[in-house]
Amino acid sequence: MRTKTLDIKKVEKVAFILKAIGNPLRLSIVDLLSIQDELSVKDISKTLNAEQSLVSHNLSGMKLKGILASRREGKHVYYKLKLREVLKVIQCMENCDLDAI
């Protein structure tokens, strides 16, 4: 039985992060960028076996929300994690026993 209420600021931050990364492709992108410091759109698309336009669309959305940062080098755009708290949310998800649900 729980006896403690949730911290509203923490709840709002986690809800924001979950909303921003809340689909399988975005979760996969974040997971990939947690392993590789920085990757191009092309590399992400190839690694995840996803269409480049779909990956690019999701990357742009996460960048607008402050989850990712990007830099351009010629024709290539490289992305990396900006909001490191995302990794804490991913870690919580990894530690969760979803089989028990």
1-11 pLDDT per residue, tens: 667 788 899 88
Strand order in the sheet with 39-40: 39-40, 76-81, 68-73
41-93 pLDDT per residue, tens: 999 999 999 999 999 999 999 999 999 999 999 999 999 999 988 988 888 88
> How many C-beta atoms lie closer than 10 Å to residue 80's C-beta?
13
**Which tokens sit at 40?**
């191009």
> What domains can be seen in the chain, in order of their start residue?
25-91 (1.10.10.10)
pTM of the model: 0.86
CB 67 within 8 A of CB 86: yes
Question: What's the distance, Cα to Cα, between the start and end of the chain in Å?
Answer: 17
20-37 pLDDT per residue, tens: 999 999 999 999 999 999
